[in-house]
Copies of this chain bind each other. A is one copy, B any other.
Amino acid sequence: MTSDNSALRVDVALIHHPVVNKLGDIIGSAVTNLDLHDIARAGKTFGIDNYWVVTPFAEQQQLCKQIVSHWTEGYGSRANPKRKMALSLIKVCSNLDEVLEKISKKWNEKPRVIATCAKSQPDTVTYENMRHELLEGQPSLLLFGTAWGLAPELLKKVDATLPPLCGYGEYNHLSVRSAVSIILDRLLSNRQ
């Protein structure tokens, strides 16, 4: 087990395509400013190495890069250096294969891909077991979907799926920002 962040090799990817809409159709969603900030801040807090923003749309990639550069190089970086530390984690990619290629190059090893889903999936792995593996330093990519969630074609490709986040009732419609924050806390918080 780690006593600091140095052993962790965990990345997060936020997928904007392919994801599903309310009807289950495959769509591409828009990048939103607060997804960048909130997930980068949670990522930095819990020792994530990179936060991959995945969209195939050139204009959306450009928008994302402009926002990030405001906070990492522009006025924002001087006004709020803590925010700079968080947004420095962000990298923009076109698709999951490109993310996997870049992470494999970084760690010299293919990461295990772990999906999260608001609906129960077969063969889920427990948070405790996954936490143990991540704290041991296993290269891992946590995959999150925008809109109504990851497309089935992505869910089929992953190595493991985490169980849905639930209270004591039936309702579980969290924002992706909330879901990422909770899952990082469950997997990577310092419990001492």
A residues sitting closer than 8 Å to B (CB atoms) are 2-5, 8, 34, 37-38, 41-42, 44-47, 82-83, 85-86, 165-169, 171-175, 177-179, 181-182, 184-186, 188-190
Asked if B173 contacts A8 (CB within 8 A), the reply is no
| A129 shortest CB reach to chain B, Å | 14
Asked if A46 contacts B185 (CB within 8 A), the reply is no
Nearest-CB residue, chain B, relative to A176: B38
Copies in the complex: 2
Q: Which residues of B sit under 8 angstroms from A184, Cβ to Cβ?
A: 167
Q: Which residues of B sit under 8 angstroms from A45, Cβ to Cβ?
A: 165-167, 169, 171-174
Which of B34, B42, B166, B185 is A34 in contact with, Cβ under 8 Å?
B34
Separation of A175 and B185 alpha carbons in the complex (Å) = 14
Known: A3-B168, A8-B168, A34-B175; 11 extra A-B contacts, CB below 8 A, are A5-B167, A5-B168, A37-B175, A38-B175, A42-B178, A45-B166, A85-B171, A86-B171, A165-B185, A166-B190, A185-B185
